[in-house]
Structure 1
């Protein structure tokens, strides 16, 4: 099938290739040393740069390697070491597609070198001319796919000599010869070249036409099966380009290959921008539960921690959110852990027995003996005595009181001072889980409480992307391109927005994932609030002041310093 010009990705004539060859001392990449690097940079069939250097491997070169390459230990004695050569080569190859004959060998050595010398592997696109030749050339053309045989077949101007630069130059001519062969098969772009590999099944390739009718706009795509059932749902900033990747080698997931083999058609839902696409994806996943979406197995399945309705309330893990509940949690185990931590800090009972308001005369459990419960079951506490513990929990959840957080912080300090490091580490992790749960509850509930809010994000081209949010749900979305007055667009979006009736619970009936997605979009740098029906603010006496304690992977926080003190 011949593609239209606008369906092509990056034309091959515009792609910069760096064809590389290494000579080594032999052995595994982690053990052996590189003795020579040769590379040729080409674009549009023209050579635009060369890179060649001997490398001192830091040890003797085995005789059999000397016999093969002609590179002796004496030759590399004055050569630079790899720690000096590697950054220069990485700069030379930056932004280019890496090409090699048997690329797995060369990239393995380069990866190992980066790991050894502390450079991040740039993870470039890689083209292996050995793999490509096996895909293109039949046995009637060549019985060998060695570089020397292919250089002869394609009339390479340089003969391979087991020296890095010569072999790289020969590989350039082999690459161009192979590209000429597959060009007649419709491979005109980098994306198609990367897809022209043996692990693309014939079924995948044949079904490429399923993407032909899709627009190049943001949206949601749905793969449908023989009975028109939804097999898979995904989002894309460019629907046509994203769906076409499912029919190339860039899609390496086994489940997706199986899905493509079953799919009969692809349906698209165009969206104003990526936020709308993300929200629609969540709603479609909940509606269809596609078999090939991992995240669709339990859409909307979240857990909450709530106080029971009885004279001596306890914390219970529930599925249906109640007013005053803490959550949401993605798993029951996480909810149970936070409930246990919160009950321990507040000294709430954890037993499940029903205790009347007048109390009872049962024997207290071991938790009462440890001082973690006031033992209302034995009559040691009245409802009046028990009520302050309940108020501490509701105060933390609603963002009015942080006494329990201070109590937990003090306990952590006491454990650390007493050198009970393992117990302190467990307490630290429990407090982090509690803080994260409280912070999430506050930010989502605060957004869900706003009847209407309009946000605007720059689209990067001088225009604006708009979202009308009502009670934590996306009610309308649109764009004002550069030169379009934005406020009339906002008025039209508000007028046509979906009516949202608030429900019960902390999120007013909204889906937790959708509200979280909207919160992340609204709090991105550059996003502005156009209007709001009421102030949008999180509680001032909740988890907010403790955010530094939560920490991040790249920020030194109070919590991490405490963890260091704990060893």
Structure 2
């Protein structure tokens, strides 16, 4: 495939670009509910450079206990003329706007700030918060320090300020502790805010040592393949940023046990940069179908689907099959499970009296009728009472439901639904509704996909958030190529190059022969999405006026489908 790729930035925010506000509070006691703030100290830093400081006493509106005065040195006379809590906290929030808050034992300081906001009708902005004591417990072992108190860590990291229970001094010491911890983590590859926030001792040293597997990956959209020492695919995934996504597998943000097991077995990650998100999705699907990686739970067998078809015989019937041929009268699907195909067949039987027996019937050798004939649920061609031409009318009704106008069938089933509901037979009504849903969903899918699969070529374009156009070439329902026309460029030369380099795709002999059914469904969703423009088409793209798409849209909310 021809690829013209604009690079995207990392999804993670580099720590050097993060603004941190390190805060410390002095209070009248330990409970945010019953005690007040006496002092706020804060230091704003970014990239190791101090951007500003804030220090203010706070009048808590209550006497400061004697032991607190002894501990902090802050007396009632020092805070008598200081701002009240609402004013002081509002000033701090303005100082810290847009920054990540950092505190040593953050639950204490943040708890007081939140309580003050709630008590004085101030909006708590919900910033990201880092707790240096929690981080230190994971980074600095007890072999190095006796405990993880601020004073101990400040000495360990050589802080320029000694903490002394005064807010600004303690905040300055916490800044040096934060920088020391970030330096430690940088040696194991933690260099983004997201990685720092999710860092945990749950990640083993063995796992951290494998972070180098992601180091050379591109920061671009596409597919990534984890492989073991034999080169076999363990897991296939997609991302708008391959490098950033792969790095997440080596942090605590990845909590799936099977993924941890997969990463321990992996020895390399193979990236495949893709021009469009559709190309990435399709490549992922094809690779999973080809390699069947053991750690991909879904779509390991995208080729293993079911179809509901009308058989090609004198008295056609419905049959559930794995593949279709060019001579099949009509069909619906694909279905992910045989059960859903059986439900769709039952719904069609509810609407059209097709025969349900499996025997191949002869118009010249009649047999006895089954119970369904007595119930009026079958035309009973087996008895010889129905001519081939008359039964053909019933078959034509079934064909119309599958490939054309499904409204009469849907209306007939709705009448039965109404009768069941009126009779308070709600469980039967729900079962009938679900059967109708299976039929409508499958017929809608096949009706929409058929013209895309039959078109020899479709060129389409869609604007992207990063600017320019994503371009795709679809041939017989298969993604034959994709490209990207950058911002400001004339897209037509890119269209011409895409068309010239796109894969040659043979016409289908049946659904699933030119492309996996799931691939055609992915392509169809992309083409139908809002904002997609049709550039050129060789073929026809039509859908029956009375087709199942409208009924599908109507039933989707009730059955919990994505419309």
TM > 0.5: yes
Q: Using the TM superposition, give the Cα deviation of residue 457 of structure 1 relative to its aligned residue in structure 2, in angstroms.
A: 1.2
Q: Does 1:509 align with 2:475?
A: no
Q: Does 1:200 align with 2:203?
A: yes
Q: State which structure, 1 or 2, has the greater radius of gyration over its C-alpha atoms.
A: 2
Q: Is the 8 A contact 2:227 2:270 kept in 1?
A: yes
CA distance in 2, matches of 1:533, 1:304: 27
Query: Which residue of 248, 252, 255 corresponds with 1:252?
Result: 255
Q: Is the 8 A contact 2:346 2:435 kept in 1?
A: no
- Partner residue, 2:355: 349
Query: Which residue of 458, 480, 485 corresponds with 1:480?
Result: 485
Give deviations 1:122-143, integer Å, cap 9, x for gaps: 9986645444222222214444
Q: Is the 8 A contact 2:289 2:299 kept in 1?
A: yes
CA distance in 2, matches of 1:101, 1:37: 19
- Partner residue, 2:457: 452
- Partner residue, 1:272: 275
- Partner residue, 1:189: 192
Q: Does 1:209 align with 2:212?
A: yes
Q: Does 1:499 align with 2:504?
A: yes
Stretch moving more, 332-341 or 253-262: 253-262
Q: Using the TM superposition, give the Cα deviation of residue 320 of structure 1 relative to its aligned residue in structure 2, in angstroms.
A: 0.5
The residue correspondences of 1:527-566 to structure 2 (distance < 5 A) are 527-552=532-557
Give deviations 1:334-365, integer Å, cap 9, x for gaps: 11111111122212222223332235332522
Q: Using the TM superposition, give the Cα deviation of residue 517 of structure 1 relative to its aligned residue in structure 2, in angstroms.
A: 1.1
The residue correspondences of 1:125-136 to structure 2 (distance < 5 A) are 127-136=130-139
Q: Does 1:179 align with 2:182?
A: yes
Give deviations 1:114-167, integer Å, cap 9, x for gaps: xxxxxxxx9986645444222222214444446797689787887779x9x999
CA distance in 2, matches of 1:185, 1:128: 19
- Partner residue, 2:524: 519
Distance change (3 Å), C-alpha of 1:183 and 1:487: closer
Q: Is the 8 A contact 1:475 1:497 kept in 2?
A: yes
The residue correspondences of 1:27-426 to structure 2 (distance < 5 A) are 44=46, 127-145=130-148, 175=178, 178-179=181-182, 181-183=184-186, 187-194=190-197, 196-322=199-325, 323=328, 324-358=330-364, 360-365=366-371, 367-426=372-431
Q: Is the 8 A contact 1:451 1:534 kept in 2?
A: yes
Q: Using the TM superposition, give the Cα deviation of residue 201 of structure 1 relative to its aligned residue in structure 2, in angstroms.
A: 2.1
CA distance in 2, matches of 1:36, 1:432: 60
Give deviations 1:273-293, integer Å, cap 9, x for gaps: 222121111111111111221
Q: Using the TM superposition, give the Cα deviation of residue 248 of structure 1 relative to its aligned residue in structure 2, in angstroms.
A: 2.2
CA distance in 2, matches of 1:301, 1:94: 54
CA distance in 1, matches of 2:342, 2:386: 25
CA distance in 2, matches of 1:150, 1:126: 19
Distance change (3 Å), C-alpha of 1:203 and 1:348: same
Distance change (3 Å), C-alpha of 1:8 and 1:352: closer
Q: Using the TM superposition, give the Cα deviation of residue 499 of structure 1 relative to its aligned residue in structure 2, in angstroms.
A: 1.1
Stretch moving more, 329-338 or 139-148: 139-148
Distance change (3 Å), C-alpha of 1:279 and 1:363: closer
Q: Is the 8 A contact 2:11 2:241 kept in 1?
A: no
SS across alignment from 2:557: coil
Name the TM-score, length of structure 2 as normaliser.
0.75
Q: Is the 8 A contact 2:350 2:413 kept in 1?
A: no
SS across alignment from 1:200: coil
- Partner residue, 2:471: 466
Aligned pair count? 503
Give ranges in structure 1 of 5+ residues lacking alignment: 1-5, 23-32, 54-88, 111-121, 560-567
Q: Using the TM superposition, give the Cα deviation of residue 530 of structure 1 relative to its aligned residue in structure 2, in angstroms.
A: 0.8
Q: Does 1:437 align with 2:442?
A: yes
CA distance in 1, matches of 2:491, 2:142: 64
SS across alignment from 1:552: helix
Give ranges in structure 2 of 5+ residues lacking alignment: 1-8, 26-31, 59-91, 114-124
Q: Is the 8 A contact 1:325 1:506 kept in 2?
A: no
Q: Using the TM superposition, give the Cα deviation of residue 464 of structure 1 relative to its aligned residue in structure 2, in angstroms.
A: 1.4
Q: Is the 8 A contact 2:162 2:170 kept in 1?
A: no
CA distance in 2, matches of 1:35, 1:188: 40
Q: Does 1:490 align with 2:486?
A: no
Stretch moving more, 494-503 or 367-376: 367-376
